[in-house]
Amino acid sequence: MSNSNLSPSTPASSLPARSLKSIWHPCTQMKHHETLPLVPIVRGEGVWLYGPDGERYLDAIGSWWVNLFGHANPRIGAAIHDQLDRLEHVMLAGFTHEPVVRLSERLIGLVPGGLGHCFYSSDGASAIEIALKMSFHYWRNSGRPEKSGFVSLQNDYHGETLGALSVTDVALFKQTYAPLLRPSVHVPTPDWRCAEEGITPEAHARRAAAALEAHLAGHHAETAALIVEPLVQGAAGMGMYHPSYLSLARQICDRYDVHLIADEIAVGFGRTGTLFACEQADIAPDFLCLGKGLSGGYLPLSVTLTSDQVYQAFYRDETAQGFLHSHTHTGNILACRAALATLDILEQDKVIDANRARARYLNDAAKPIAAHPLVKNFRNCGMIWAFEVDAGDPGFADRFFQAAMAQGLVLRPLERTVYFMPPYVIGEGEMEQLVAGTLKALDSFG
Ligand SMILES: *Cc1c(COP(=O)(O)O)cnc(C)c1O
């Protein structure tokens, strides 16, 4: 590939030292990098990331859950190249372009029923902000401004801008900034790891739904929407739950006139085994937020889809009753081309079916991980695998990351939860390498 070498003016070996001073890295205590060097990456190919001296790492977490079809994917790359020579961007206020129209029509045809309107942004948190603002503004335009509160699940993650952080329930990200946030309510999670002994995942989901119902029975008049991460609560440590929670939540929201916002930013585009996680409960939300894999992980792109009923409540003569959210790069044409190429691959390669075989292979290969004495709750949903490691030290996540890198694997545990979210192009041999390397990393904690 043409990008296999760094340009001579950028010696790779000088990258870590310089970036340590000039770049403030995300989700990082920078001081830890005094002892833990940053890892320079110069190119990628398929599931592999390559360092400057040709060392390679299997990207088992899809570069923070975004990569669906491998790094330097030639089909997505070709679409972006083709677009780049014609138009890189035009603002979407007063203007339109064919890729954004085609992408919207395709998405509308693919998502669970009845969501016919797409509003674009660039990151997942913004897609959430947009859904929250739209839901609030819908009730206001409908003469019910008191419906302004939001409910989410205990342990939910919806991003870290102030509005998205308000409906997030991950203490590490939230506590410090709590005084800046609007209060919101977190109802019990259906995550089966939290179930009492002897309770099935389905029964646990029903109990959680009963708690949601009890809350909304008392507070629906001031509640605009319930927001959930369908089937898998990612940042909480890949907490998985029974789809019956989603069917019940849909019924409860309907009963109490509360919107349902499905945050499929992490789980959309086949990650849970169906194109969208909501399909497994046969429900359609009022708002669907997509991001991460939407562009195949290539370019920042997110979208909030909603129903005609919501759209119509804004369709008035008054500008101030229209939806007020102006994001400069909304509907960027390059990102739309990457997304269209991603949808092409999903369809043409029958990826959802192919992933079933992949998941079977990895589940089989991973039996020794499930049986490892330090491993608890080994679980799988579609193309997500996770387990907790019973290793008693608080620095586990950092130490496991290093142990995995020594095996040529990118694995970045969420506290004690190790997870795999590989690109869908992972081959059988690569899955075996993933399992063997994970076992070796685990053994170093024995
Ligand atoms: C990653 C994520 C977000 C936030 O997306 P960003 O692009 O990081 O802002 C929101 N919700 C879920 C479920 C996510 O996994």
Q: Of ligand 1's atoms, which has the minimum distance to the CA of residue 233?
A: 13
Mean pLDDT, all residues of the chain: 94
As a whole number of angstroms, the distance between CA 183 and CA 428 comes to 47
Please, which pLDDT band fits residue 36 given cuts at 50, 70 and 90?
Answer: confident
| Per-residue confidence (pLDDT) for residue 16, from 0 to 100 | 52
Whether residue 11 has pLDDT greater than 90: no
Which is the closest atom of ligand 1 to the Cα of 229?
13
Name the strands in the sheet holding 417-420, side by side, starting at the edge strand that comes first in the sequence: 375-381, 384-389, 417-420
What is the distance between the terminal CA atoms of the chain, rounded to a whole angstrom? 41
Lowest mean pLDDT among 14-18, 21-25, 126-130, 169-173: 14-18
The pLDDT of residue 188: 98
In this model, does residue 12 exceed pLDDT 70?
A: no
Q: Does residue 291 line the site of ligand 1, with CB under 6 A?
A: yes
Structural domains for the chain:
41-72+351-443 (3.90.1150.10), 77-348 (3.40.640.10)
Work out the percent of the chain whose per-residue pLDDT is above 90: 90
pLDDT score of 15 = 56
The ligand 1 atom at the shortest distance from the C-alpha of residue 128 is 10
73 has pLDDT over 70: yes
Whether this model's pTM surpasses 0.85: yes
Distance 412 CA to ligand 1 centre (A): 16
Give pLDDT, residue 20: 66
Is the confidence at residue 14, as pLDDT, over 80? Answer: no
Average pLDDT over every residue of 25-35? 88
Q: What is the pLDDT of residue 17?
A: 54
**Distance from residue 159's CA to the centre of ligand 1 (Å):** 5
Among 54-58, 99-103, 263-267, 393-397, which is the least confidently predicted range? 393-397
Q: What angle do CA 267, 302, 80 make, to 5 degrees?
A: 105
251-257 contacts: CB < 8 A, separation 24 or more? 252/209, 252/212, 252/213, 252/216, 253/216, 253/226, 253/286, 255/216, 256/216, 256/217, 256/220, 256/223, 257/147, 257/220
Task: Write the CA distances from 190 to 76, 278, 417, integer angstroms.
Answer: 37, 15, 18
Query: pLDDT at position 297, please?
Result: 96
* pLDDT of 19 above 80: no
**Least confident interval from 16-25, 124-133, 263-272, 284-293:** 16-25
Q: What is the pLDDT of residue 412?
A: 96
Segment 81-89 shows an average pLDDT of 97
Tell whether the model's pLDDT for residue 102 goes beyond 90.
yes
pLDDT digits (tens, 9 = 90+) for 380-436: 999 999 999 998 778 899 999 999 999 999 999 999 999 999 999 999 999 999 999
- pLDDT at position 1 is 37
Which residue is listed with tokens 């691959």?
A: 345
Higher pLDDT, 63 or 446: 63
Mean pLDDT (whole number) for 326-334: 96
Q: Residue 121 C-alpha to ligand 1 middle, in angstroms?
A: 12
- For the packed helices 351-365 and 333-348, what is the interaxial angle rounded to 10 degrees? 70
State how far the alpha carbon of 181 is from the alpha carbons of 27, 62, 97, 158, 174, in Å.
Answer: 19, 31, 37, 14, 9
Q: Check whether 171 has a pLDDT greater than 80.
A: yes
Ligand 1 pocket, residue 159 CB under 6 Å: yes
pLDDT above 80 (res 21) = no
For ligand 1, say whether the CB of 229 is within 6 Å of any of its atoms.
yes
